[in-house]
Chain A
Amino acid sequence: TQLLEQSPQFLSIQEGENLTVYCNSSSVFSSLQWYRQEPGEGPVLLVTVVTGGEVKKLKRLTFQFGDARKDSSLHITAAQPGDTGLYLCADYGGATNKLIFGTGTLLAVQP
């Protein structure tokens, strides 16, 4: 069974700082996805990356996929309080549509 480990578990930073969070898989990703979950809400898809070495940007968020497709990072530039939330990486469970989620990074951005 694929295991997705995320680090750090918790991160508390000041508004304007930069940060990077990581996701590592015990096996090659099928289709890596990053979600953000805000308190009291369900996960919301941010991005999907498929190709090793791929880099995708979403405003101040930069997603990088490792060449070997077993790790990924999410970098946030000039964090804002609105970035606060639980960041989850996920992958499809092989040929099925079920999602396997990582352990999550809880980010708090202080104003």
Chain B
Amino acid sequence: EPEVTQTPSHQVTQMGQEVILRCVPISNHLYFYWYRQILGQKVEFLVSFYNNEISEKSEIFDDQFSVERPDGSNFTLKIRSTKLEDSAMYFCASSGLGHQPQHFGDGTRLSIL
């Protein structure tokens, strides 16, 4: 069964550094998402992406965050200048049109020191 893959599985970065989290969505999916889960808290929506542009973003997704689909297969989340509170699990998901089920990757654990 096709799956969403995310790399790296764990990223450790100094505060203030830029990080790029990578995702390869399921190939025939059209919607792409990033969610995050701070340790002990619930999964929170960050951003959705469709037709090469952001379709919706949450309050968390401020100017420090950006997303890109650089080559038609990868979907990336960039955090420009990381803060301690960015430490979390970041999940990528993809889906078809409408309210088709979202398929999640296994996440990237981001640790900011």
Residues of A within 8 A of B4 (CB): 42
Known contacts A92-B99, A97-B31, A97-B55; A42/B91 CB under 8 A: yes
User: Looking at chain B's contact residues, is the secondary structure mostly helix, strand, loop, or mixed?
Assistant: strand
Interface membership of B86, Cβ < 8 A: no
User: Looking at chain A's contact residues, is the secondary structure mostly helix, strand, loop, or mixed?
Assistant: loop
Assess whether B42 is in contact with A97, with CB atoms less than 8 Å apart. no
- For B101, give the chain A residue with the smallest CB separation: A45
Assess whether A43 is in contact with B56, with CB atoms less than 8 Å apart. no
Tally of contacts, chain A with chain B, CB under 8 A? 57
Interface size class of A (residues with CB under 8 A): 20 to 34
11 contacts between A and B (CB under 8 A): A42-B93, A42-B105, A88-B42, A90-B43, A92-B99, A96-B56, A97-B56, A98-B33, A99-B45, A101-B35, A103-B42
* Residues of chain B having any CB pair with chain A under 8 Å: 4, 31, 33, 35, 42-45, 48, 55-56, 58, 91, 93, 95, 98-99, 101-107
* Residues of chain A having any CB pair with chain B under 8 Å: 30-31, 33, 40-45, 48, 88, 90, 92-93, 96-104
